[in-house]
Chains A and B, each alone.
Chain A
Amino acid sequence: EAGVTQFPSHSVIEKGQTVTLRCDPISGHDNLYWYRRVMGKEIKFLLHFVKESKQDESGMPNNRFLAERTGGTYSTLKVQPAELEDSGVYFCASSQDVGAGQEAFFGQGTRLTVV
C-alpha cells in the first residue's frame, strides 16, 4: 500500500512567486494534516482537513497560504506570494480516525526554499 506522497520533494522559488505543494494521503484516510518545519524550530501544525472540510486552520500563518482538498482526496497548499520566511520543510500527514492513540503517517516532505 502506498504511503503519504508529496510533490515536489524540493522547490526553489524567488520571493514574490507562487508555489503549490501537493499531498496524496493514504487511501481511505479522511484526516489530512499540513505541518511545517522552519530551520531550527519545531514542527508546527498548519491545518487539518476531515475529508474536504477544514476542521482546524488555526496554524495557518497568514492569508498568503491557501489549502484545498477538493473531493476529499489529495490536498494542495499554495503560497502566494512567497516570502523568505516561508522557507522550510512542509510535511503532510494522514490518519484514519481522529482519536487517542491514532497514528499519523507522514509524507517525506517538500523542502521549500525562497530566495
Chain B
Amino acid sequence: RKEVEQDPGPFNVPEGATVAFNCTYSNSASQSFFWYRQDCRKEPKLLMSVYSSGNEDGRFTAQLNRASQYISLLIRDSKLSDSATYLCVVNGGSGYSTLTFGKGTMLLVSP
C-alpha cells in the first residue's frame, strides 16, 4: 500500500459545482496533514492545513479521520481559477520531519 494515496482524476466540473477529493495514508503515526495546490509547471503551495476537528477556509473545507486514516478536501462553488492539481501531504510518515506527498488529484473547472 502506498504511503499516501489519491485518486489522480482528472475531475472535470462546471463552474459553481461542489467537488470533493479524498486521500488515505498508511502510517498511523503521522503527525500533521496538509493540502497543497500545484499549478501546471509551478511549485506546490500550501492551500490549508488539516486539523482533527475539521477546518474551513472560505469555499474550502478539510476533514481528517484518524481512525480511518483518511483526509478529504471539499471545494464549494468552484471557480475557473481552482483548476490545478491538489496534493495530499502528510508529515511524519517516512520520517518525523519529512513531508510525504500523494500523486495529486487534477481538477479542471470549465465555464
Contacts and interface: CB of A to CB of B under 8 A. Distances in A.
Interface of A: 31, 33, 35, 41-45, 48, 55-56, 58-59, 91, 93, 98, 100-109
* Contact size range, B: 20 to 34
A41 B94 contact: no
A100 B97 CA distance: 9
Nearest to A31: B97
Given A108-B43, A109-B43, A98 B96 contact: yes
A106 B45 contact: yes
The list of the 4 closest CB pairs from A to B, nearest first, reads: A106-B43, A100-B32, A43-B101, A42-B103
Contacts of B104: 42
A84 to B, nearest CB: 21
B98 A48 contact: yes
Contacts of B34: 103
Contacts of A93: 99
Contact of B98 (A45, A100, A106): A45
Nearest to A111: B41
Nearest to A3: B43
B109 interface: no
A42 B31 CA distance: 20
